Structure 1
């Protein structure tokens, strides 16, 4: 599985490139097909970044929500 840097992830924000990606627990998902992520924003969350800290304690859904999205790769760990 390919590894991406945070800078590479940041470019997939729905505005700089057509892809809309988010990372969660070290895995990068392509959420481009989701109508809920249009233009790179989903409620107060922005695409192109690691959402782990935001979602682990605050999301109204479980991590299973990512199961329906394709995995793009892994997020490079600092």
Structure 2
């Protein structure tokens, strides 16, 4: 599985490039086809970033990521 930096993830925000990616618990998910992530925004959350810490405030569990295959890993740096 390919590893991406936070800077590479940030470019996949639905604004700078057509891809809409988010990271969760070290994995990167392509949510481009999700109707809930149009234009790189999902309620008050923006794509192109690690959403691990933000899940505790979400009205859903981590199971939401089961719908998506991880496309990469987030670099630790």
TM-score, scaled to structure 1: 0.95
Map 1:49-64 → 2, pairs under 5 A? 49-55=49-55, 57-64=56-63
Within 2, Cα distance between the matches of 1:71 and 1:32? 13
SS of equivalent to 2:39:
helix
- Distance between the aligned counterparts of 1:38 and 1:13, measured in 2? 10
* CA–CA distance in structure 1, aligned partners of residues 64 and 23 of structure 2: 13
Q: Distance in 1 between matches of 2:71 and 2:3?
A: 9
- Structure 1 residue runs of 4+, over 3 Å off? none
For structure 2, the 5+ residue unaligned runs are none
Secondary structure, in 3 states, of the residue corresponding to 1:29? strand
* 5+ residue gaps, structure 1: none
In 2, the alpha carbon distance for the partners of 1:70 and 1:25 equals 13
TM-score, length-normalised on structure 2? 0.96
The equivalent of 2:46 in structure 1 is 46
